[in-house]
Amino acid sequence: MCQLLGMNCNTPTDIVFSFTGFATRGGLTDEHKDGWGIAFFEGNGVRLFVDHQPAMSSPVAELIKRYPIQSENVIAHIRKATQGEVTLENCHPFVRECWGKYWVFAHNGDLKNFAPQLNGSFLPVGSTDSETAFCYLLQRMRERFGEQSPDLPALSRFMQEICAEIAAYGTFNLMLSNGEALFTHCSTKLHYIVRQYPFPTASLSDEQMSVDFSEVTTPRDKVAVIVTEPLTHNENWTQYQPGELKVFVDGDVWLAGEAA
């Protein structure tokens, strides 16, 4: 299985600390060495970096560890291939446009016998079940709402429905963002933490690295980090329940509910 990492915050923030620990799992402290990727929202744009090399040995990953790109929504993924070859086009996150906005998607899991009928509005480039699920999700979203982008409550209700539908085919842990909110769904395993004032000193589990967040934040900052397995050993992470959908806005949980 793959692993996921997401960040949602109320002010542009870098993800260097979390990504450093996360990338270590891409071939050193864990087996997820079949490629990786990360996407940063910046205004109406998205910076996307993907590589089919293991994150631990990728020069592009080294750039991300040293380059403090600031964003309010970030999605990252390290891959252990279950479907699709180890190629660049099969690396998450995947990006598509809908309603004049970029949508970024990453998936952890394995969908069995999942072969939805796609009408051509959104088509996969690679050969993964994940990208197919993303295209199907967007297709159903456009069918539901037409040419008008829905508000967040309506979109969240739709996400609860579509996640339950797709999860019937297997494991469907996902992260999806349009730059305004971060949608997360858990089939098997996800954890999250909201860092806010008074900020702690956090120490990574996979690297000898600590950060005193009180030195690099302001009292109004709020940062939510969502990940497959907790990244630090001295913080209290909250585990999702199977089937749970959580939506993050401005660094906090906006909605938590069962995907049923």
Mind telling me the catalytic residues?
2
Residue 68 Ramachandran class (φ > 0 left, ψ -120 to 50 alpha, else beta): beta
Alpha-carbon distance of 199 to 219, in angstroms, equals: 8
Neighbours of 75 (CB within 10 A): 31
From the list 160, 185, 161, 156, the residue with the least C-alpha distance to 172 is: 185
Alpha-carbon distance of 19 to 231, in angstroms, equals: 9
Is 66 strand, coil or helix? helix
From the list 140, 171, 170, the residue with the least C-alpha distance to 157 is: 140
Residue with tokens 């497959």, as numbered in its chain = 228
Alpha-carbon distance of 12 to 5, in angstroms, equals: 17
Distances in whole angstroms, Cα of residue 221 to Cα of each of 17, 23, 197, 237: 16, 25, 7, 18
Tokens of 211: 């950060």
